[in-house]
Chain A
Amino acid sequence: MKGLLVKDFKILMNQKKFMIMFVFVAIVLSFSMDSSFIVSYISMIGTILTLSTISFDYQDEGYSFLMTLPIRRGDYAIGKYAFTVLGLACFWGVSIVLQFASFFIQGHEFDLAETLLADICLLPLFIFVAAVLIPIEIKFSPEKVRVVMFLFFGIVLVIAMGGKALLGTLQDKTGIEFVSKLEALDSVNPLPLIMGVFAISVIMLAVSMIISIRIMEKREF
């Protein structure tokens, strides 16, 4: 497992040009934009960067050789989840440091607990992205991954638009203001809700990992 993590880290370090550009944009953004955007931007790009190691493994039939190294097939999948979670934690941590640096330098007043809570609330989103993308990237070739991701996000968009239309129709028929009902959640203690969302995202990640392990075990190289 250690070898897999070192390999993935080396792949990240080999994307120096992209990393430098990414860090530069992150610093510029942190001093010019909404602070919550910085956290989501850095964490999202960081998650995608860590996931890109899968397509690097795919290049030049790399999987065949990787599977001859001293790991079990399932270890490869587990290693990807470990690396993604570690990567997300690092990028998210860095983004928070930048966010607070930006607050101090610009002299903005902020509520520490509220800001941190908002940052923590972003994590399940990235865990969800990783849970969806890792099995897709492991299952398909990079060319097919693009098609599958396009289809996936297309379906998500259709569901979102369909849901919005449905909500509008229900609102018209029943006369209940759903949006104002949701606003009532502001007065509810957010902690159980956040913990619930976290628990769901962790369960999703665990299920995703089981699927990825099965994909690797059935695969021929």
Chain B
Amino acid sequence: MVRLNNLQKEYKGFKLDITMDIPEGRVTGLIGRNGAGKTTTLKAILGLIEPTSGEIEVLGKKPREFTAEDKKQIGTALSSSGFNLIFTVKDVIAILKGFYKDFNEEDFRNKCRQQELPFDKPIKDFSTGMRAKLRVLVAMSHSAKLLILDEPTAGLDVIARNDVLNIIRTYLEEDSSRSVIISSHISTDLEGLCDDIYMINGGKIILHEDTDTLLGKYGLVKVSREEYEALDKKYIIGTKEESFSVTCLTSEKQFYAENYPKAVVENAHIDDIIVLILGGEK
């Protein structure tokens, strides 16, 4: 469904160099620090920027060759851009009706009501959470095959984040062939939603794994400095030295649990993986 092959985009002081393959019916997460290249990647997929080099194919076409009909198959929610804030939900409905033949007005109105979005208030008077919900509902308003969501939960409190994630889950339950590419710097959002995760740093993919593998096989191995010296490091991806011990990230936690009884082996969350890959020393 989406294929990026050595996609490169250069800016002053930043270079994106990405290869990705996202098949149909997958929920793919992009995770990385602010400025890692997540939004640039999504903008390239949407054809908003022209790559410096490399290949990009979305729904079988180059994004810059998209017709209006092709774009109807994609629903987008960008973190820093949307409908003008002077508009009300009523205005947004009228505009969406003009753009999409498949716009399901009744369904959209119902979802807005469920999320308690006022119809007559300008978006500029909405809370951050309400704006985020509206952006996501707009992206889903025309039964798109592919959803591209850029930081849909950024800046939201826990309840608003859960609401947004539930909206996305419901959309996926309605049709299993739908695909989603979602970027976030909040790992817990992606853990419960994505089939696979790409970790981006400095414009490069530093890790790509199925979420089940990440959470099932990856782990933290905590050992003393002496034990660390004797440790077989073939499955160690990153390490972090503490005051009296060393914490290691492994892609085979079972191996260390079985062979090093003195070592403390724990499950790793995506945050741990990020910290140890980006912040640790190999």
* Chain A residues packing against B (C-beta within 8 Å): 2-7, 10-11, 14, 56-57, 59-65, 67-72, 75, 220-221
User: Number of B residues whose C-beta is below 8 Å from A?
Assistant: 32
Q: Is B85 on the interface with A (CB-CB < 8 A)?
A: yes
Contact among B43, B48, B49, B96 for A3, CB-based, below 8 A = B96
B95 A220 Cβ-Cβ under 8 A: no
Contact among A7, A59, A64 for B95, CB-based, below 8 A = A7
Knowing A59-B85, A61-B80 touch, does A67 contact B95 (C-beta < 8 A)? no
A65 B78 Cβ-Cβ under 8 A: yes
| Chain B contact residues, majority secondary structure | loop
Contact among B50, B83, B94 for A65, CB-based, below 8 A = B83
* Chain B residues packing against A (C-beta within 8 Å): 43, 46-50, 66-69, 71-72, 74, 76, 78, 80-87, 91, 94-100, 148
A65 B95 Cβ-Cβ under 8 A: no
A70 B81 Cβ-Cβ under 8 A: no
CA A49 – CA B86 in complex, angstroms? 16
Contact among A4, A57, A70 for B69, CB-based, below 8 A = A70
Contact among B43, B84, B94, B99 for A70, CB-based, below 8 A = B99
Contact among B49, B86, B99 for A221, CB-based, below 8 A = B49
Distance from A67 Cβ to chain B, minimum over Cβ atoms (Å): 6
Contact among B46, B50, B66, B94 for A10, CB-based, below 8 A = B94
B91 A10 Cβ-Cβ under 8 A: yes
A67 B48 Cβ-Cβ under 8 A: yes
A64 B71 Cβ-Cβ under 8 A: no
A65 B82 Cβ-Cβ under 8 A: yes
B86 A56 Cβ-Cβ under 8 A: yes
Given A2-B99, A68-B46, A220-B50, 15 more A-B residue pairs with CB atoms under 8 Å apart are A4-B98, A6-B94, A10-B94, A11-B84, A14-B87, A56-B84, A60-B81, A61-B81, A65-B76, A65-B81, A65-B83, A68-B74, A70-B100, A221-B43, A221-B49
Knowing A2-B98, A3-B96, A220-B48 touch, does A64 contact B85 (C-beta < 8 A)? no
CA A56 – CA B49 in complex, angstroms? 21
B98 A62 Cβ-Cβ under 8 A: no
| Chain A contact residues, majority secondary structure | helix
Q: List 28 A-B contacts (CB under 8 A).
A: A2-B99, A3-B96, A3-B100, A6-B95, A10-B87, A10-B91, A11-B84, A59-B84, A59-B85, A60-B81, A63-B81, A64-B78, A64-B80, A65-B76, A65-B81, A68-B48, A68-B76, A68-B78, A69-B99, A70-B68, A70-B71, A70-B99, A70-B100, A72-B68, A75-B68, A220-B49, A221-B48, A221-B49
A72 B67 Cβ-Cβ under 8 A: yes
How many inter-chain residue pairs (CB < 8 Å) link A and B?
A: 84
B48 A70 Cβ-Cβ under 8 A: no
Distance from A79 Cβ to chain B, minimum over Cβ atoms (Å): 11
Give the residues in chain A near B76, CB-CB below 8 Å.
65, 68
Give the residues in chain A near B97, CB-CB below 8 Å.
3, 6
Distance from B90 Cβ to chain A, minimum over Cβ atoms (Å): 9
Give the residues in chain B near A7, CB-CB below 8 Å.
95, 98
A57 B99 Cβ-Cβ under 8 A: no
Q: Return the 4 tightest CB-CB contacts between A and B, nearest first.
A: A3-B99, A3-B98, A6-B98, A68-B76
CA A2 – CA B67 in complex, angstroms? 16
Distance from B94 Cβ to chain A, minimum over Cβ atoms (Å): 6
Residue in A closest to B142 when the chains form the complex, CB atoms: A70
Distance from B229 Cβ to chain A, minimum over Cβ atoms (Å): 51
